[in-house]
Structure 1
């Protein structure tokens, strides 16, 4: 099958937003045969109604229409492909399961791994396209010295999205294009959008999780599993009961506001134990940790890591890079020791590693200590 793929043909995941639109525009300008595909993803029934459609949702009715319109202006084919079943299984079910177990999931990372660079890539191959492309701000290059595809930070540091694609495989990177990585600013991207579609250039960036457009995560999970989360105990570091919480799904590590309980001093969530239904509270110092264990480690830069490796890491998309040492303790499990304490290391989130301008891999945080 792959021998029949055309290296000048690319499928672009069209969300109806500025970034994917300009990605398609840029690739056509570079001489590629571009096909636009909008991915129909699973969405809760209450948000299928038009009254809940919003301008920022990547799979709303208005966004599908926007994607269709710009593809017409670009004179490229446009298709809507149903990925509801796999999205529900790989993204929504995972999201709900993590929250039930006291973790804080990152569904966008799961969507990249299983939908945009797997299911969509397979669809691209079915259409004879060698590549899939998205509007991510990142760069992919091949290093002949080490015979590996590498991921490099975007020119626009504030928009850099390498954190969200740490789990891509060499095979996926081989068939992926990210034309926005070379832009120096989002303003430059909007200028291109404005040149052929004024209304598109004014669209706001999508912020919310696409299948929870009202941002009510706890309400969504409770509706999804048809069960209310039970109240449990707030405890201190010594196990003393401090009061009652409203269900572990309503809290995350490092949280201070919205606890529903006051102590006359700043108090933070230190730990969440889903097995005992207890949430540990403490002062700000208790939120800082120097070590973590992470699983499902994916290395992009190195074929294999042996011994200790000194790199920089961040534990969430917006976090600052912190110097650390990583060591592999099992096949896909690593220990990370930071040179200085890091605030609110959160199970379920990703820890992603960097070496200079290169993102070298990452893993899912299991616990901190």
Structure 2
């Protein structure tokens, strides 16, 4: 129970369905006295009090579990390390993977609970081969993307009571009817441990900021920056370039080079991607798929992005072609190519983003992007220069 309206209604529906429900709020902040400011921040002391009031209304036991140490190690420190390596991480994915459906779920099962229920908008289906994760009934509110890190074994112990509700407005109306005080509480935005919303300023307090060069793809210096780690692929604003492009068009960040401390910029068309590669992959179940044989799927690279058609297959890593981006113990990778006959190239793909694979509405699995192949120049890879943090590789 986060203290928000979604988890409050999810708990109420679980009680109404006849389950024995216990409310749990996760204390994740290293500063427990932190208060919430409007829609900024979450997991604050104010949120904990809101969650307790809902639990009292529902007449269910309520506990606060302190996972702040685990959260710092698995989410915050990982976030910093990824930016230090020139990546743009998704901390919400890491939190779901490492905290809500690993640390929390493991503790719940150890205590004898059957499942963890949350206020996520996603649908669970008991299929012939096990539990399946599908999109919510309304794609506009669908949150299956951020749940793509869940494995088939974890899904067997999940419960998402809001999956069939088509809008947040209906959830708020239901909460008001139930007398839940947080019915009108604003949704949380931004990264929860950066409540001010200024990621670059926050990173400057956790990473050394060293001035360096902004270069074009030919290596010509066209500007300077005050710290490469504050930039992300696809960024246009704040570049402060010394001279305009020859064609007069704006330039975008194409890649970050942590070792040489350079930011590479170029035209928008160079952001178009036909293949992406990455690691940290997991499966949410394989519906009759032999991953060693090419299979069709859709790939989604952001929470609110449109999925695009792709073809994937699992291949053995050729030792002669192994790069620093492959983990030493990784023996296979998944290669997935965007079907450009059916879809536009992906734009602004940044290392560190999560790509989730779907078949129809069903989630197949996910991976973290390490590098990308540009559509504009076949055979030219972007975003891999001098990557300093290696990862197991899954290619798309």
Give 1:306 deviation, angstroms: 1.4
Give 1:332 deviation, angstroms: 5.4
Point out the more displaced range, 295-304 or 72-81. Answer: 295-304
8 Å CA contact 2:141–2:166 kept in 1: the answer is: no
- State which of 30, 34, 40 in structure 1 corresponds to 2:27: 40
Equivalent residue for 1:363?
Answer: 367
Structure 1 residue runs of 4 or more that deviate by more than 6 Å after TM superposition? none
Residue 211 (structure 1) aligned with residue 215 (structure 2): no
SS in 2 for 1:87: helix
CA distance in 2 between partners of 1:97 and 1:332 (Å):
25
8 Å CA contact 1:298–1:332 kept in 2: the answer is: no
Give 1:256 deviation, angstroms: 0.7
Equivalent residue for 1:3?
Answer: none
CA distance in 2 between partners of 1:234 and 1:327 (Å):
37
Gaps of 5+ in 2: 317-330, 374-396
In the TM superposition, 1:58-77 aligns within 5 A as 58-77=42-61
CA distance in 2 between partners of 1:252 and 1:129 (Å):
41
Residue 54 (structure 1) aligned with residue 37 (structure 2): yes
CA distance in 1 between partners of 2:332 and 2:196 (Å):
36
CA distance in 1 between partners of 2:285 and 2:111 (Å):
30
8 Å CA contact 1:234–1:278 kept in 2: the answer is: yes
Equivalent residue for 1:338?
Answer: 338
Gaps of 5+ in 1: 1-13
Equivalent residue for 2:127?
Answer: 143
If the length of structure 1 is used for normalisation, what is the TM-score?
0.90
8 Å CA contact 1:70–1:197 kept in 2: the answer is: no
Residue 252 (structure 1) aligned with residue 239 (structure 2): no
Deviations 1:123-161 (A, max 9, x none): 2224321111111110112211xx232111101211111
- State which of 74, 81, 84 in structure 1 corresponds to 2:68: 84
Give 1:283 deviation, angstroms: 0.7
Give 1:49 deviation, angstroms: 4.8
- State which of 269, 288, 297 in structure 2 corresponds to 1:285: 269
SS in 2 for 1:58: coil
Equivalent residue for 1:312?
Answer: 298
Q: How many residues align?
A: 348
CA distance in 2 between partners of 1:170 and 1:324 (Å):
22
If the length of structure 2 is used for normalisation, what is the TM-score?
0.84
Residue 347 (structure 1) aligned with residue 351 (structure 2): yes
- Alpha-carbon distance change, 324 to 269 in structure 1, aligned in 2, over 3 angstroms: same
More strand by share: 1
CA distance in 1 between partners of 2:123 and 2:99 (Å):
20
CA distance in 2 between partners of 1:223 and 1:132 (Å):
35
8 Å CA contact 2:54–2:181 kept in 1: the answer is: no
Residue 271 (structure 1) aligned with residue 290 (structure 2): no
